[in-house]
Structure 1
Amino acid sequence: MPDKVYVITGPTSGFGRRTALELAKHGTVVLVGRNAAKLDDVRSSIEGRGGKAVSVLCDLSDPTSVRRAVAQITELGLPITGVLNNAGIFPNRPGTNALGWDIAYATNHIGPFVFTETLVPHLQDGTQVVFIVSAVEDPERKAATMSGFRGARYLSAEASTRGEWKPGGSKLPGGDAYATSKQCNLATVLAFARETPRLRFNAIEPGFAPGTNLGRDAGLFLRLLSKYVLSPLSPLIKYWTNPGTAARMITRILTDESDATGVYYDEKGRPMRGSAQVHDPAFNARVVAETRALLGTVHV
């Protein structure tokens, strides 16, 4: 049996891929994603460097697929040391999952929520559970507002599945869906940290990294510009990063053995504050309660 095992969602590109390779230096990595060929490629890369990895297929937008993946993970009988909810999308056009739910909200919030809550009973005391979030949830974050975001626009979990957001939001296609889903991630971390003190729940804002697969829906010119021009410059710009730098920081936090829980870290790995709304215990508890109630209405 391996001494340490790390579970990571979205490990096939960007932050996820680089972090999976970093985590493989610390133990066995369970790779969770929806593309079998890409998962095999990452697994082969890890094994080629002398590491160990296991692949598990999962579509984070589908709660049934998520529960099935968790069942497969627990059947492996591995001693899980850390869990990284990294998978996320930022579609620039409306879309829905098999249940008719907004695809960004389903993938970014509902999927990680179900994944974590289903896995929790099988985790050893002290296990580190980390969510990758985004500071664009904060309407007071100047860098985010300059980019066109207007903070999270949460009305309710049910409204979010319909792609309905608080009026007066962003004109960026997909901006409100992304910011709201990421606020719900952070709300989940803060509420779970209170609910389950035997585990450690923390969140990371990894910084803006041009050239990652998060912008897969952008035009070819913008993707090339981001990857080959902006990404190399990112370490020189405040709040910016690149996949390699972010992966090392994320790995450092995920492998940290301190008792820290309910902490929100910035791109440098330093504690930071999110929006006033998300830090309100009543609000983050409501997000969790409404998410559970929503899931209770469907057979998953």
Structure 2
Amino acid sequence: MQKAYIITGPTSGIGLATAMELAKHGTVILVGRNKEKLDRVQTGIRKNGQQAVSIVCDISDISSVRFAAKQIIDLGLPIAGLLNNAGIMSRKARKSAQGWDLTYATNHLGPFALTEALAPHLPDGAHVLFVVSAIEDPEREPVKMMRLKGGRYISAEASARGEWLAGGSKMAGMDAYSTSKQCILVAAMALARENPRLHVNAVEPGITHGTNLGGEDTNAIVRYLFGKIFSLIPAVAQYKSTPEKTAKTITGILTDQSGKTGVYFDEKGRPMLGSKLAQDTGFQDRVVAETRALLTQV
């Protein structure tokens, strides 16, 4: 039976490019909230003589995530990889179906819940890959240039309420984004230690023009800086990528047979390090424990 790969957020940007690339290696299970967009991607894949299945799911809604996981399991396909790609960068404080901060729910709680629901059903050696962001690291050059402060984690409960450590960024929505991406990065590292039979990793996609994190609601200044200006600065241009290049990197990680796990990859597929806090195993375990406790409320 042909291998299958799950991908969230497959209808635009990196997700779309990766869905088309992964379809060369097996059946792609497309997970997204817009049925019409999913159908268009599915049709495009099938026109290439490849296979795709669509599952409608709002990744910010934990109930929707758990129902989608059940649907995926019921397909009975041999899952070779799970790509947690869906994410938003919203400048407005909005709420999920559970009343939690939408950015935190979309970028951390939803992917974590999906992985937790699917992990027991994944075969030994299956890949789990999280698309994260180096914006969580206050010492990284592009982050310092933008005068951002990195992850501002207090607790899972506080994050769900949309509360972040004082002294953060003055750009609307950036503390929520940075913190949510830091949380899913450290969760990936913790899950890799917890689940040695799976290959759990994270990837930083680089400064990628052409993504649509939150559509028109994305901070316009951030879109302009990342899409246009920063890619021209030598010290930052090294991090530049495209959805197509990142898709090839991601596909390479998801189809790798060397057994790598607990690795944080950069946009070129090379190992990198997160912030000092993200490297702290105690902090990693704390975030996972608090996330699990929060999710028991649903």
TM range (shorter): over 0.9
2:30 paired with 1:16: no
Structure 1 unmatched runs, 5+? none
Contact 1:137 1:180 in 2 (8 A): yes
Contact 2:263 2:271 in 1 (8 A): yes
> In structure 1, what is the equivalent of residue 289 of structure 2?
289
Alpha-carbon shift at residue 230 of structure 1 (Å):
7.0
Contact 1:216 1:223 in 2 (8 A): no
Aligned partners of 2:47 and 2:12: how far apart in 1? 18
Instruction: Give 1:103-118 correspondences, 5 Å limit.
Output: 103-118=102-117
* Alignment RMSD (CA, Å): 2.3
Aligned partners of 1:223 and 1:217: how far apart in 2? 12
Aligned partners of 2:188 and 2:177: how far apart in 1? 17
The Cα offsets for residues 88-143 of structure 1, whole Å up to 9 and x where unpaired, read as 00001110112211000011100000000000010000001000000011111121
Contact 2:89 2:218 in 1 (8 A): no
Aligned partners of 1:234 and 1:136: how far apart in 2? 17
Aligned partners of 2:23 and 2:233: how far apart in 1? 25
The Cα offsets for residues 229-261 of structure 1, whole Å up to 9 and x where unpaired, read as 679979992211111111111111111111110
Task: Report the 3-state secondary structure (helix = DSSP H, G, I; strand = E; otherwise coil) of the residue aligned with 2:216.
Answer: coil
Aligned partners of 1:203 and 1:229: how far apart in 2? 26
Consecutive aligned runs of 4 or more in structure 1 exceeding 3 Å deviation? 218-236
Task: Report the 3-state secondary structure (helix = DSSP H, G, I; strand = E; otherwise coil) of the residue aligned with 1:118.
Answer: helix
Number of residue-to-residue matches in the alignment: 297
Alpha-carbon shift at residue 220 of structure 1 (Å):
11
- Identity across aligned pairs (percent)? 57
> In structure 2, what is the equivalent of residue 198 of structure 1?
197
Aligned partners of 1:168 and 1:27: how far apart in 2? 46
> In structure 2, what is the equivalent of residue 270 of structure 1?
270
Aligned partners of 1:146 and 1:238: how far apart in 2? 14
Bigger CA drift: 51-60 or 231-240?
231-240
Contact 2:12 2:211 in 1 (8 A): yes
Contact 2:209 2:227 in 1 (8 A): no
2:24 paired with 1:25: yes
- What is the TM-score of this pair, normalised by structure 2? 0.94
- CA distance 1:6–1:147, shift in 2 (3 Å): same
Contact 2:207 2:226 in 1 (8 A): no
Contact 2:91 2:218 in 1 (8 A): no
Contact 1:210 1:226 in 2 (8 A): no
> In structure 2, what is the equivalent of residue 279 of structure 1?
279
Contact 1:102 1:161 in 2 (8 A): yes
Contact 1:31 1:39 in 2 (8 A): yes
> In structure 2, what is the equivalent of residue 211 of structure 1?
210
Task: Report the 3-state secondary structure (helix = DSSP H, G, I; strand = E; otherwise coil) of the residue aligned with 2:107.
Answer: helix
Contact 1:101 1:161 in 2 (8 A): yes
Contact 1:80 1:127 in 2 (8 A): yes
Write the letter of the residue equivalent to 1:156. S
Instruction: Give 1:96-245 correspondences, 5 Å limit.
Output: 96-214=95-213, 216-217=215-216, 237-245=237-245
Write the letter of the residue equivalent to 1:243. P
- What is the TM-score of this pair, normalised by structure 1? 0.94
